[in-house]
Structure 1
Amino acid sequence: MNAFNSRQEVPEKEKWNLNDIYPSLEEWEQDYDKIEKLTEELHKFDGKIDDGNDLYDYLHKEEIVESLFGKVFVFAKLSGDIDTRETLAQSLTEKASQLGVKISAATSFFTPFLLGLDKSTLESFLREDSRLDYFKDDLYDAFRYKEHVLSKEKEELLSQLGETLSSPSRTFGMINNADIKFGEVTDEDGNKKELTRGMYSKLMEDEDRSKREEAYKAYYVPYVQLKNSIASTLSSAIKNNVTLSKVRSYPSALEKSLFGKKIPKEVYMNLIQTTKDNLKSMYQYTELRKETLGVEELKQYDLGVPLVTGVKEDIPYEEAYETMLDALAPLGKDYIEVLKEMKNARYIDVRETPGKRSGAFNLGLYGIHPFILLNHQDDINSLFTLAHEMGHAMHSHYSNKHQPQITAGYTIFVAEVASTVNEVLLINYLLKNAKSEEYRKYLLNHFMDQFKGTFFTQVMFAEFEMKTHERAENGESLNAEAFSELYEKLFQEYNGDALVMQEESKYGWARIPHFYRPFYVYQYATGFAAAISIANKILSGDEEVLENYLAFLKSGSSDYPIELLKKTGVDLTSPEPIKDALSLFAELVDEFSKL
């Protein structure tokens, strides 16, 4: 494994080239000044849009500002991600963020203005200027919110309350990121030291069970201690969401969350019900864990340790890239050629270096190209991360190439499809080419664990969110006891009787930041299921599905996400894609137990 002490040591070809956005800081500054001037011009439209021509001028100018701001912000962000300690990059990001606030303030009048129009007035504007055809779908989509918008005075009041309403989320963020002190664990020399999050994820994979137990108990110490405070922030966040839904005349908080992307409620209900009707394979998986690990009682700290050991192998970056290209060959020649070009043209920042932002992401910049951040570690996880992020990058590439700016971005609901299709094709390729039975078992274990985390756990979270919001809507109390009782019940239900619950297990709700972004996590599971359905059909040689999938990658947000997926043959309003995904999991468990 390559360990780099500084960015200078990393080969040039493994660093992204930010000159593709701005060859110099002077050019960044020029665009920054240009946006400031244009933002002032946007502000002057407030109260001055009287006809179709005015409306077009405003929207056209706003799109130019958005495009330029995208470049300015992304350049600043990516410069900072290279080394988070670098003060110049930090000041650029700060400046860009302040500019974003100015743009928001200058354009904040527009939505209330638009929704204050009669439909007939909007239609007359559209007739007056044919150039508005480009913006038509977006205008009508915004107009859907009309029945959920309040009077101007009430809207202003709500906007002033914005900071107060987001307070529970910010408070939890401060508790969870700044204030929490985990318990202590024993290091190699027998000394006690405070547990960190980074240490925790590593220790959960440790073969020494006593180390896992010690880390698990230390990790939950602050969450148990602070259960009442955290319950108060979560309860407030849920109640705020429920109150806003009522104030805006939505039937429920869930339907308010689904409204924006026109996701039918049955998609959410289907996901939960179909999963709960097919939990048998999940129970077999926990039984299998218990059996393979040879423990009398399976505990929560036994759920992350690999079931197959001693077969890890180094996969250098060059080899990982070639393996990925071979695995994704079923997606066609053009897909592979673009992936090769992305590597050669330095769209990817590969190596972990001091101060570099952790994790991995893809950022698709319209009119330029995608930028992919990795912290490649030459192992199997890094190979999967590479395939995952390049799936996002290809989605960005195709959508940006084939869509105008207004519909080039894709929604979270479909975002995980492109990345997971790549992972399913990769695991299929690796299993087909496994050098030994033991390595095949190792791969099956890797995929089963990923399946559990991305699908089953997220569905369980989705049900927890639904039930807690329903309780708030019915005026029932939401406190630490209520959250713990519900969480414990669901945790047992989704994992089966082979798992023996511990006192700490029921406080799992206290550590999940996603619960402050209501009804978000279910999209990981729906995206995962849709991707499995598509990948399996592509692997079976279904040319029509392949063609439709590539068309989907090119479609950005040109239609609502459910409709885009239907064009690939996946209908998430029916239980079928969920059943297909669950039957694949059953096959994985079955094969692993036979091996």
Structure 2
Amino acid sequence: VGGLAGAFAAATAFAEPELLALPEGTLAAWAESPELSAYAYHLGALERRRPFVRSADVEEVLGLVRAPFASARSVHPTLVNTDLDLGEVRLKDGEVVRIGHGNVDRLTMDADRDVRRAAWEAYADAHRRFANTMAAALTSGVRQDVFVARARGFESSLHAALAPNELPTSVFHALVDTYCRHLPTWHRYWRVRARWLGLERLREFDVKAPLTLRAPEVPYERAVEWICEGMAPLGEEYVNVMRRGLTVERWVDVYPNAGKRQGAFSTGTRGTHPYIFMSYQGSLFSLSTLAHEIGHSMHSYLAWKSQPDVYARYSLFVAEVASNFNQAMVRRHLFARHEDVDFQIALIEEAMSNFHRYFFVMPTLARFELEVHERVERGGTLAAPDLAALMADLLAEGYGDAVEMDRERSGVLWAQFSTHLYSNFYVWQYATGIAAAHALAARFDSSPEAAREDYLAFLRAGGSLSPLDALRVAGVDMSGGKAV
């Protein structure tokens, strides 16, 4: 499929250069004509990309290299998912469990500290054994990013990643600066968590330790009901479509299975319904993942239904708003409905796990990604020991003196992300997405009617607006991070 996409890109490479070769003002006139008014944003975006669109010959070459350039991105997950021996761990009852990508999170959340330690260390060590190979793959991926950026005339890899979506690099740097300013909040959280767990000091394998041993079991059917209840403020039509997708129309590949890879995602294309891949585990964490992915799916469903093909796709910058919005709304509903102390603690734990991934891990990876790209842009290299040292240094800033680190094992975190770091400046948008989502969810407290209409308009907009303008429609200004 990747090869076919590359062949298609090469075959259609002539289009944009030929359009941009038309006399100046032609595209603007077309955009104002009644026949092509629907394409006004598309034509305007093409005009804005003019400085970075090359000749037809160069565009054809850039299209042809897409398939071979995908090799770095395919080598890493192939190695991790098929060749890596993650080891095993002995549970408290004596059962020996093979560690897999699908169960490592559950094992590092075990109530037994020895189980958490063994699973965390084994998972890190498995990646460390192949760190040099993974560093070579990451180096290839970063060099490809730098090559494409320079071939198109962008100022940097970061500029090349953001400019097509009309995002100024200042938005990226604002996210990183905001994260760094609030590191003391994370330091305080680690200390509070250690005190709750009765530990003098946290270790890294304690950051997911359970805060209650009486977390609720949540069967899939109950999760669907709670998600539908939580999303009721968006209206009956939204909820009915979502309920049908989660049940009758079987949008979701629900349960774990032999050979099933890790992770969760929503995919599909206009002309189909959305498809959700996940492994439901019967917990609040799985409920939250399902809410997240159905948020993506409903975004796609409404965009596909409302927009022509040219605007059917939307950027990750807005995609992660829709998914995290659903999580925020469902979590708020469950907090209001369930007053049981253990249920509330379990909800706090699920929320903090989500915040840890999106507000801690992802900004840290974004800082790592910026540094490795800048090193290559300066002509430097990316050896595994250097990558591990950089990763450990960045994590140490986030942990402060509240977490005792194992630098060798912490430093291999970059190798545990098989796809995220092979998509040029991808991960930072998880953090902006969750920030915008919670700002939009808060609007439902004061003006639910306006909040609903604005948010649904945002979902229906698809790719017909720039990401920042689409979010302004929803009610949040992410250029400066303040709600409208």
The alignment's TM-score, normalised by the length of structure 1, stands at: 0.73
CA distance in 2, matches of 1:532, 1:574: 15
Deviation at 1:477, TM superposition (A): 4.0
Q: Is contact 2:187–2:400 with CA below 8 Å preserved after alignment?
A: yes
- For residue 301 of structure 1, what is the aligned residue in structure 2? 205
Equivalent residue in structure 2 for 1:141, among 41, 45, 53: 45
Aligned to 1:389: 293
- Which amino acid counterpart does residue 147 of structure 1 have in structure 2? P
For the residue of structure 2 that corresponds to 1:185, the secondary structure is strand
C-alpha deviation, 1:459, in angstroms: 0.9
Which residue is 1:545 aligned to? 451
**Cα 1:184–1:419, aligned 2, differ >3 Å: closer, same or farther?**
closer
* Cα distance in 2 between the residues matched to 1:340 and 1:498: 44
Aligned to 1:474: 378
Contact between 2:211 and 2:346, CA under 8 Å: does it hold in 1?
yes
Structure 2 CA distance for aligned equivalents of residues 273 and 541 of structure 1:
31
Specify which of 100, 118, 127 is matched with residue 214 of structure 1: 118
- 1:561 pairs with 467, 472, 476, which one? 467
Aligned counterpart in structure 2 of residue 442 of structure 1, from 343, 346, 355 = 346
- In structure 2, the partner of 1:324 is 227
Question: Is the 1:283–1:496 contact (alpha carbons within 8 Å) kept by the matching residues of 2?
Answer: yes
CA RMSD of aligned residues (A): 3.1
Deviation at residue 255 of structure 1 after TM alignment:
0.6
Matches within 5 A, 1:404-419: 404-419=308-323
Unaligned runs of at least 5 residues, structure 2: none
Matched residue SS, 1:198: coil
Name the residue aligned to 1:499. Answer: 403
TM-score (norm 2): 0.88
Q: Does 1:534 align with 2:432?
A: no
Is the CA contact 2:9–2:63 (under 8 Å) kept in the aligned structure 1?
no
Matched residue, 1:70: none
Letter in 2 for 1:563: D
In structure 2, C-alpha distance between the alignment counterparts of 1:326 and 1:192, rounded to whole Å = 40
Structure 2 residue 123 is the aligned partner of structure 1 residue 251: no
What one-letter code is carried by the residue in structure 2 that aligns with 1:287?
R
Matched, 1:277 2:181: yes
2:414 aligned partner, one-letter code = W
Q: Is the 8 A contact 1:327 1:429 kept in 2?
A: yes
Structure 1 residue 521 corresponds to structure 2 residue 427: yes
Counterpart of 1:110 in structure 2 is 15
Unaligned runs of at least 5 residues, structure 1: 1-93, 581-595
Describe the SS at the equivalent of 1:554. Answer: helix
Amino acid corresponding to residue 329 of structure 1 in structure 2: A
2:127 paired residue number: 223
**CA deviation profile, 1:417-463 (whole Å, cap 9, x unmatched):** 12211211111111122242222112111111111112221111111
**Residue deviations 1:110-143 (CA, integer Å, cap 9, x gap):** 334334444356568x499964444454244234
Which protein shows a greater Rg? Answer: 1
Once the 2 structures are TM-superposed, how far is the Cα of residue 214 of structure 1 from its aligned partner?
A: 1.7
Specify the alignment match of 1:314 in structure 2. Answer: 217
1:240 corresponds to which residue?
Answer: 144
Contact 1:328 1:336 in 2 (8 A): yes
Asked if 2 retains the 8 angstrom alpha-carbon contact of 1:348 and 1:374, the reply is no
CA distance, structure 2, for counterparts of residue 373 and residue 243 of structure 1: 33
Q: Report the alpha carbon displacement of residue 412 of structure 1 after superposing the two structures with TM.
A: 1.6
* Shift in Å, 1:250: 1.0
Q: Answer whether contact 2:251 2:273 (CA < 8 A) is retained.
A: no
Q: Does 1:510 find its partner at 2:415?
A: yes
Change in CA separation of 1:441 and 1:345 when aligned onto 2, cut-off 3 Å: closer
Q: Are 2:132 and 2:383, in contact at CA under 8 Å, matched by a contact in 1?
A: yes
- Once residues 93 and 290 of structure 2 are traced to their aligned partners in structure 1, the CA distance between those partners, rounded to angstroms, is 36
What residue in structure 1 maps to residue 105 of structure 2? 201
What is residue 482 of structure 2 aligned with on the other side? 576
The count of residues paired between Structure 1 and Structure 2 equals 481
Change (3 A) 1:127 1:148: closer
Instruction: Name the aligned partner's letter for residue 145 of structure 1.
Output: R
Residue deviations 1:219-277 (CA, integer Å, cap 9, x gap)? 22233233333223222322332233223221111011001100111110111101211
Aligned to 2:477, the other structure's residue is in SS state coil
CA, structure 1 residues 249+215, in 2 after alignment: closer, same or farther (shift >3 Å)? same
